[in-house]
Structures are given as C-alpha cells and as structure tokens.
Amino acid sequence: MFTQNQIAEFKEAFSFIDSDKDGLINKNDLAVTFDALGRLVRDEDLKQMLSEAPGPINFTMFLSIFGDKIAGVDDESVIKNALKTFEDGDSGKVKEEKLRRCLTTWGNKFTQDEFDTTFAEAPIDRQGNIDIEGLVRLITGRAQDDAQEGA
C-alpha cells in the first residue's frame, strides 16, 4: 500500500508522536505531541482520537489507520468533528479567516492559492462564516446527491 519512503516517513512520525518510546501511542503521547505543536486539546478529544483505532496503536495499527485515511474512508462524522474544532461556539459555523489562518499556518500547510481553490465552493455567508454542515455535504458529495434528488 505504501512505498518504502512513505513507510520511513510514517515511522519517523510515529517515533515523534510516541513520546515515551514504548512502541504504542497513548493519550499522553497525543497530548505531548499537540503541546509541541502549540495546540491544547481537551482530554475527551484525545480519547475520541484513540477510540478510532480498534485496538492499541502500535506502528502496524498506525499504518493501517493512515491507509484507511488515504483511501478516503473518512465518514461524515469524522470530517464534521474535524471542522467543529474550528467552530465559533455552537453556531455550526466557522469563520473563513480563522480556518484560512489555521490551515495556512500549522501542520501540513496550505498555500493561499490551495486554500482558495479548496474552499471556492464552500457555503460562505455575507459575514464570512462557512456553514459546517454544508461544507461536509460538499466534501462528501452529499450536496450533489441532495441536488439530484430534488431535481
């Protein structure tokens, strides 16, 4: 599923995340990693992340999880929960500028052009808010399904 170079990169990432070097990624390892990236994450969010794996996260499980992610098996709830980390209160919306700043500043950074291209079709209101549910429908292709059913 992966090239040797990709496996080497995943091994490096796994080693970075496995801060206690016990060969397993646990809640503390995730907390330390997020802290190193300058992001505070709630305990319940860490537990949720770990619950996505069917068992202890060793390197083999880590590769399996990423294989599934690369294959595009994220369901709507995973995408929605990811976007909700940027949500303004309980509004169901995220400020476009906030999302832009986060996605072009941290992690696997988008360029401004990549952000513009990726979110060109996003449901943005006049106040610059992106509707999370609408964006999830767009990402998953459900928006097209809904339009076809209405036709």
CATH code, 111: 1.10.238.10
Same domain for 140 and 90, yes or no, is yes
Same domain for 62 and 83, yes or no, is no
Q: Running along the chain, 151 residues long, what does each successive block of 10 average in pLDDT?
A: 84 94 96 90 92 90 80 71 88 94 87 89 94 88 56 49
Same domain for 100 and 146, yes or no, is yes
The pLDDT of residue 74:
57
Same domain for 58 and 80, yes or no, is no
The pLDDT of residue 138:
85
Last residue of a domain, one of 52, 70, 88: 70
Same domain for 83 and 44, yes or no, is no
Last residue of a domain, one of 18, 50, 70: 70
The pLDDT of residue 137:
87
How far is Cα 128 from Cα 71, in angstroms, rounded to an integer? 32
Same domain for 84 and 60, yes or no, is no
The pLDDT of residue 72:
59
The DSSP bridge partners found for residue 95 are: 129
Number of domains in the chain: 2
SS3 string, 68-109, reads HHHCCCCCHHHHHHHHHCCCCCCCCEEEHHHHHHHHHHCCCC
The pLDDT of residue 1:
64
The pLDDT of residue 15:
94
Same domain for 55 and 100, yes or no, is no
The pLDDT of residue 90:
87
Print the domain residue range for 87: 76-150
